[in-house]
Amino acid sequence: MRAFRFRAAAALELRKKQEETASIELFRRQQAAAEGQTRAVEAVRRLQDGHTGAVRNAVAGTSSHELEWHRNWIVGLTATAEALAIDAARLAREVREAEEDWSVARRKRLTLERLRERLLERHGDAAAAEERKDIDELARLRFAMGGAALAGSNDSGS
């Protein structure tokens, strides 16, 4: 019997490369999302510190000009924090999309690998059946030849 050859081996290799590419992209997006989340948390911390500083200055009795400056500064910090929170949400959405892409690529690879395993098992079963057939044929020939040899030896003895 011929050796096993998986005709879709090239497709399986392609699926493996696609899964690897999707995995790398997922990792890259997860890193970007983690950095985005860190930036958003840091912006919120700066905003809270700004509020605390503004209150401290107001209690200490500063000028209206300085209070106005703090208020505007806090408005800027708020806008930055909101923008970074939106960016972090976008990055998290991109992570979910990359996870889905990776999952699809993985399922496609696993499907081809299962197909390959089933075909390899069938090939093994067919090879075993052919071997059993050859052994049966050999046993039949031995039996037939053994019977003919015995018949020939009985004829010469009479």
Using one digit for the tens of pLDDT, what is the confidence trace for 87-138? 999 999 999 999 999 999 999 999 999 999 999 999 999 999 999 999 999 9
Name the residue with higher pLDDT: 21 or 143: 21
Composition of the chain by helix, strand, coil, percent to 5: 90, 0, 10
In terms of C-beta density within 10 A (0-12 exposed, 13-18 middle, 19 or more buried), how is residue 81 classed?
Answer: buried
Residue 93 exposure: Cα atoms within 13 Å on the Cβ side: 6
| pTM score of the predicted model | 0.72
Per-residue model confidence as pLDDT tens digits over 5-38: 999 999 999 999 999 999 999 999 999 999 999 9
Give the residue extent of every domain in the chain: 11-114
Name the residue with higher pLDDT: 48 or 149: 48
* Closest to 14 measured CA to CA, from 22, 4, 3, 25: 22
